[in-house]
Amino acid sequence: MTANWSAFVTAEPEFARLVEARFGAFTHHVLATLRKDGSPRTSGLEVRFLNGELWLGMMPDSLKALDLRRDPRFALQANPGEGQTMGGGDVRIAGRALEVDDPAQKAGYGEEVEPPEPFHLFRAELTEVVRTYVEDEKYLVVQVWKPGGQVRVIKRT
């Protein structure tokens, strides 16, 4: 089961706001895709939250774009920032990236973001959103959301 960003916001607005703020704190994040042989590839990436969607824009024929065309599964990790503070926690999103070929959608994205032309554009369908953080310098807290469910919270000492 998957859900777009808007469905996540509707289901868990506070959690979604925290996740979006975490991605908004820095420009570059880490995207994991799968190579032809199934091994992982990590790449830097900028992401955008626009019009109820999480967008992944890429240079033409970049390896990450070719990976996603072949196998749409991805994992995306928010930039943790400098040092060991991880302000706001460690945030990860997993899902499927669906390439957008519709000229009107790409033009709308292009007007907002002004990416170098040409570019690949993918819309994220989420399968999981995870936030990990330390609470009271005592607990490791893991929040997990999957489409169709509520946020599950796990606390460890």
What's the rounded Cα separation, in Å, for the pair 131 and 23? 12
pLDDT at 83: 66
Element (H, E) at 16: helix 13-24
Beta-carbon contacts of 9 under 8 Å, excluding residues fewer than 6 positions away, are 16, 52
pLDDT, residue 63, reads 97
- Does residue 85 register a pLDDT over 80? no
Task: Spell out a b/e string for 39-61, using b for 16 or more CB atoms within 10 Å of the CB, else e.
Answer: eeeeeebbbbbeeebbbbbbeee
pLDDT at 130 over 90: yes
Give the residue-averaged pLDDT of 103-108: 89
pLDDT score at 125? 98
Whether pLDDT at 84 is above 70: no
Question: Which pLDDT score is estimated for 107?
Answer: 87
pLDDT tens string 7-40: 999 999 999 999 999 999 999 999 999 999 999 9
Place of tokens 């292009």: 110
Q: Report residue 58's pLDDT band, with 50, 70 and 90 as the boundaries.
A: very high
Instruction: Tell me if 59 sits within 8 A of 119, measured CB to CB.
Output: yes
| pLDDT confidence of residue 11 | 97
- pLDDT at res. 113: 85
With pLDDT > 70 as the criterion, what percentage of the chain qualifies? 97
Query: Is the pLDDT higher at 99 or at 87?
Result: 99
Segment 64-82 mean pLDDT: 95
Strand, coil or helix: 55: strand
pLDDT of residue 47: 95
